[in-house]
Amino acid sequence: MLLLVRHLTHMRYPQGAAGVALRLKLFPQNHEGQKVIDWHVEVDGEEIAHTIVSGYGERFAQWLAQGQRDDLEIVAHGRVETEDRAGIVKGLRRAPPPAVFLRATALTGADDAIHALGEGLAPGTDALAGLHALSQKVRGALPYRGGITDSTTSAAAALAGEGGVCQDHTHVFIAAARARGVPARYVAGYLLASDEEHQQFETHAWAEAHVDDLGWVGFDVANGVSPTDHYVRLCTGLDADDAAPVRGIVTGGGPGAVSADVRIAHGEGDIETIQQQQQQQQ
């Protein structure tokens, strides 16, 4: 499937900013089942020309600017060809050892309730079947409820609160898998909904867990499936904070506000039309 993506991030500084430093993890990579046809990342209309390869084997960019400014616009857009590989991710250009993704973070620490969710991942059992079962258990224990968690909510807090969004589902799944010795990582990307009514205008999150003799396998806990050709895999990390597509540090002035608008369509879509739709929402 050929997918067209335009990801707009608008950063506003009501009291002005004297300097801005950005880390941009906005560069999807090729692997089996995903081929980037063309892709561009621009900050205030200027295309990013230089990128760095991280320890995760993914490209990212650093952008720095000095001087007073009131806002900033970041746009990532392009076309990506995808195939349904049942969630299995192979052919990445470079990858760290899976054990790197056993490390717990403040957002993915496991308490007793999370340990209990991972009981089906005991040594000697079918790891793949156990991970699918874990995905369903997390989804059942954590109903989709927007507005009750935020970017600082840990896996344990979300589970105790009995509700959350895709970020929370992913954190709980990762925490439970790691607690049972299964490497797991956070994935940020894009999802084309099956119909326009359910389309979300934001990035999506899912998990990948490492299975011996098979490799990395994706689990979209929020939707109860493994990623298909409707997904574009953007970047990974230990948790949502580590995998954030856009992160920034501002000096001078007061706090800023960040808004994002993600549009994804079949490849026959028109990027100019998507751009006009996003401008109308601002």
Number of domains into which the chain is organized: 2
Considering the domain architecture, whether residues 223 and 95 belong to the same structural domain is answered as: yes
DSSP summary character for residue 88: E
Question: What is the predicted pLDDT for the residue at 275?
Answer: 61
Residues in the chain: 282
Considering the domain architecture, whether residues 115 and 178 belong to the same structural domain is answered as: yes
Considering the domain architecture, whether residues 175 and 262 belong to the same structural domain is answered as: no
Question: What is the predicted pLDDT for the residue at 216?
Answer: 97
Are the C-beta atoms of 13 and 71 separated by less than 8 Å? Answer: yes
Considering the domain architecture, whether residues 126 and 224 belong to the same structural domain is answered as: yes
Helical ranges in the chain per DSSP H? 112-117, 127-141, 155-160, 166-179, 271-281
Helical ranges in 29-181 per DSSP H? 112-117, 127-141, 155-160, 166-179
Output the domain CATH number for residue 75: 2.60.40.2250
Question: What is the predicted pLDDT for the residue at 228?
Answer: 97
Considering the domain architecture, whether residues 178 and 94 belong to the same structural domain is answered as: yes
DSSP summary character for residue 269: S
Output the domain CATH number for residue 154: 3.10.620.30
β-bridge partners, 17: 69
Residues of the chain with pLDDT under 70: 195-198, 254, 268-282
Which domain does 64 fall in, by range?
2-81+244-281
Non-local (6+) Cβ contacts of 31 within 8 A are 89, 90, 91, 92, 93, 233
Considering the domain architecture, whether residues 63 and 7 belong to the same structural domain is answered as: yes
SS3 181: coil
Question: What is the predicted pLDDT for the residue at 259?
Answer: 92
> How many Å apart are CA 183 and CA 187, to the nearest integer?
13
Considering the domain architecture, whether residues 105 and 163 belong to the same structural domain is answered as: yes
Radius of gyration of the chain (CA): 19
Question: What is the predicted pLDDT for the residue at 104?
Answer: 94
Considering the domain architecture, whether residues 119 and 182 belong to the same structural domain is answered as: yes
Question: What is the predicted pLDDT for the residue at 273?
Answer: 61
> How many Å apart are CA 51 and CA 64, to the nearest integer?
13
Considering the domain architecture, whether residues 262 and 172 belong to the same structural domain is answered as: no
Considering the domain architecture, whether residues 59 and 94 belong to the same structural domain is answered as: no
Considering the domain architecture, whether residues 153 and 180 belong to the same structural domain is answered as: yes
Considering the domain architecture, whether residues 217 and 259 belong to the same structural domain is answered as: no
